[in-house]
Amino acid sequence: MISSGIFILPGLAFSRTGPSVFISYFIAGLAALIGVLSIIELSTAMPKAGGDYYFITRSFGPLIGIISGFFSWFALSFKAAFAIFGIAELLYSITGGPLILFGILVTLFFIVLNILGIDIAAKFQVFIVLGLLAIMIIYILTGISGIDLDRFKNFTPRGINSIFFTAGFVFVSFGGLLKVASLSGEIKKPKISIPMGIISSTVIVTIIYSFLLIVLVGNSIPEQLVESLTPVADSAKSFLGNPGFLLVTVAALLAFISTANAGILAASRYPIALSNDGLVPNFLSYIYPKFNTPLTAIIITGIVIIASLFLKLEYLVKIASSIIIFSYLLSNLAVIVIRESKIQNYSPSFKVPFYPWIQIFSIILFAILLVEVGLAAIEVILVIIILSLMVYLLYGRKKYQQEFAMMYLLERIINKKLTTYNLEEELKEILHDRDSIIVDRFHKLIDCSTIIDLDRKMDWKELFKIIAQKCSEELCIEEKELLELLNEREQESSTAITNFLAIPHIILEKQKMFKILIIRNSKGVHFSESYDSVKAVFVLFGSRDQRQFHLQALSAIAQIAQNKDFEKKWMNAKGIDNIRDICLLGKRKREANSLNNQQ
């Protein structure tokens, strides 16, 4: 949540824009908040390991997906390396020992910590963040009284544009939000936790950063601030003395530890997602059974971090910044692609408002920031792209079998069938896990029910003839007899509930039998003068000993039909599988015990 860069970057940022640097941080935070809304939407729809990689792949396909996956993996690894370098530098200043060796030892410590399990690592992370927030608040509250307003007079010495360019430079301080997305598959109650956690974190961090920069600038001599790589600690010494300097140094250490631990924790989830999709070898997704943690992925991530310790520190920051901005840009574009693809089982619990204007604004904003920051690290970015392309062409291209939203969008544009049910099925399974859907008796019946999809106007008598022809053999009853039972029931009183829904139901002289037939007629069925265009028909066949379940099934169908956009989804469903999913995933009361007791 709190980036270690806040303790190093302000001096460099101040040299770019002057006392207005706190506005740059606020703008960066605002951009992160606007941009992250799309990440939240995608994460709640697809809470899977790998986060942004997963939903970018399911939007654009494996080629863009593997590049995105490698980008995010390396970006978070570089960010962790940056923090580990800071810890090693602190140890070096105290002991004078070998810097690289300290860095390797610290990396090994965090590798072991993450192998022991996400619960231990997460608890360790929470403790650090709380301590860090407390120290930063103390710094702000004690430093406000010492602010010298004269230090804000030359507010924008390099012009107004420098404020916006500096916002791109410090954007890395808001890169931790991608870590939450990468761990979304391990978050409990993702529908609630992801939106609340990410939005509240972004707002809190933006406010704290902005006030901290105001206190920092107001208590620092400009000439010294420009040259300082420990600006917050130096300014704390001016109004809190040596105890303040020590306190902020401890805060910086906590920030480095937090960033390093969270970086390894999140980065190691990307190889898992890549491996699960068949884009990289299976051994990368190996789960160590004793602690249920991705052993191979954590170790390889650690190796990447150790190798990056040999790069220049400033270079690491620029690479991480550019890749993080690129991920934000792709995430906003992914929302447009997947929404316009009209995939039925794309069902985020949080939807970005003012679509698509928020996404368009974010894409333009992040493209500008990317040009400003990304060109400095273009060599390493190209190396990562080439590496990911090589892996895809030599391995992943042959293994990847999943569909993606761009195919569905192209299908809509050219009006030609290009997809099967592959992606819809995958998203359905995700919704099952996310919503903890109980597979009760009604669910099982729907899952194996016959579905008829009709496309011509007819009356109920013609419809019942079709039903009798279709079901007589399965129900072991003569077609004529079945038709008579259906007609008799309809003549007693209309089974149409609304002008969209009808539920014909008959009692059969059998034992422990219950069947459901589902019918969609896009042109409508005439049941009566009041209900002359029924599109959804659920036919219930049950024996007398199933009366209780009969009532429960009627209730379940009624609840599904009352779901928001039920009629729209029913009419837009592309085929039988999509019609079935509307029934399986519809919101309703599920009582596994009571519904299973009569099977």
Write the burial class of residue 473 (CB in 10 Å: 0-12 exposed, 13-18 middle, 19+ buried): exposed
Query: Do 372 and 475 lie in a common domain?
Result: no
Position 92 in a domain: yes
Position 598 scores a pLDDT of 47
Query: Do 383 and 445 lie in a common domain?
Result: no
Name the domain boundary from 335, 370, 396: 396
Q: At 118, is the pLDDT very low, low, confident or very high (cuts 50, 70, 90)? A: low
Task: Report the residue count for the chain.
Answer: 599
Q: At 597, is the pLDDT very low, low, confident or very high (cuts 50, 70, 90)? A: very low
Position 413 in a domain: no
Position 418 scores a pLDDT of 83
Note the pLDDT tens digit of each residue in 322-348: 888 888 899 999 999 999 999 999 999
Compute the average pLDDT of residues 88-111. 85
Compute the average pLDDT of residues 70-92. 85
Q: Which residues, 6 or more positions from 51, have their beta carbon under 8 angstroms from its beta carbon?
A: 39, 43, 72, 178, 180, 181, 182, 183, 184, 185, 266, 269, 273
- What CATH number has the domain bearing residue 242? 1.20.1740.10
Position 535 in a domain: yes
Query: Do 353 and 456 lie in a common domain?
Result: no
Query: Do 327 and 469 lie in a common domain?
Result: no
Query: Do 321 and 443 lie in a common domain?
Result: no
Note the pLDDT tens digit of each residue in 515-542: 999 999 999 999 999 999 999 999 999 9
Instruction: In whole angstroms, give the CA distance from residue 533 to residue 501.
Output: 9
Q: For tokens 């039909």, what's the residue?
A: 561
Position 18 scores a pLDDT of 92
Least confident of 168-172, 284-288, 340-344, 587-591: 168-172
Position 424 in a domain: no
Instruction: In whole angstroms, give the CA distance from residue 554 to residue 140.
Output: 61
Note the pLDDT tens digit of each residue in 341-395: 999 999 998 999 999 999 999 999 888 887 776 566 677 778 888 999 999 999 9
Q: Indicate the number of domains in the chain.
A: 2
Cis peptide before 356 (omega within 30 of 0): yes
Least confident of 35-49, 253-267, 454-468: 253-267
Q: Is the pLDDT of residue 178 over 50?
A: yes
**Containing domain of residue 451, as a range?**
437-596
**Residue closest to 424 by CA, chosen among 245, 212, 595, 579:** 579
Q: For tokens 């399990």, what's the residue?
A: 117
Write the burial class of residue 429 (CB in 10 Å: 0-12 exposed, 13-18 middle, 19+ buried): exposed
Supply angle C-alpha 380, 306, 328, rounded to 5.
45
Which range, 9-18, 228-237, 364-373, 459-468, is most confident? 459-468
Position 415 in a domain: no
Position 414 in a domain: no
Position 431 in a domain: no
Three-class secondary structure of residue 110 per DSSP = helix
Query: Do 75 and 151 lie in a common domain?
Result: yes
Query: Do 357 and 447 lie in a common domain?
Result: no
Question: What string of H, E and C letters represents the secondary structure of 233-268?
Answer: HHHHHHHHHHHHHHHHHHHHHHHHHHHHHHHHHHHC
Give yes or no for a contact between 406 and 337, defined as CB atoms under 8 angstroms apart.
Answer: yes
Instruction: In whole angstroms, give the CA distance from residue 256 to residue 138.
Output: 19
Average pLDDT along the chain: 87
Query: Do 442 and 382 lie in a common domain?
Result: no
- What CATH number has the domain bearing residue 589? 3.40.930.10
Position 253 scores a pLDDT of 85
Position 229 scores a pLDDT of 73
Which range, 74-78, 379-383, 448-452, is most confident? 448-452
Note the pLDDT tens digit of each residue in 221-265: 998 888 887 888 889 988 888 888 888 888 888 888 878 887 888
Query: Do 344 and 476 lie in a common domain?
Result: no
Position 406 in a domain: no
Position 185 scores a pLDDT of 61
The percent of residues in the chain predicted with pLDDT above 70, rounded, is 93
From residue 79, give the alpha-carbon distance in Å to each of 32, 111, 281, 301, 593.
Answer: 17, 15, 25, 12, 50
Name the domain boundary from 368, 396, 424: 396
Write the burial class of residue 414 (CB in 10 Å: 0-12 exposed, 13-18 middle, 19+ buried): exposed
Q: Is the pLDDT of residue 47 over 60?
A: yes
Compute the average pLDDT of residues 573-578. 92
Q: Is the pLDDT of residue 297 over 70?
A: yes
Q: Which is higher by pLDDT, 70 or 52?
A: 70
Rg (CA), the chain: 30
pTM of the model: 0.83
User: Which amino acid is residue 379, in one-letter code?
Assistant: E
Query: Do 212 and 354 lie in a common domain?
Result: yes
Q: Exposure pattern of 260-272 as b/e (b: 16+ CB <10 Å)?
A: bbbbbbbbbbbbb
The percent of residues in the chain predicted with pLDDT above 90, rounded, is 46
Query: Do 60 and 202 lie in a common domain?
Result: yes
* SS3 of the chain: helix, strand, coil, percent, to 5: 70, 5, 20
Name the domain boundary from 396, 427, 458: 396
**Residue closest to 177 by CA, chosen among 368, 37, 363, 8:** 37
Position 122 scores a pLDDT of 60
**Residue closest to 511 by CA, chosen among 446, 447, 599:** 599
Query: Do 20 and 90 lie in a common domain?
Result: yes
Q: Is the pLDDT of residue 483 over 90?
A: yes
Q: At 467, is the pLDDT very low, low, confident or very high (cuts 50, 70, 90)? A: very high
C-alpha of 438 from chain center: 23
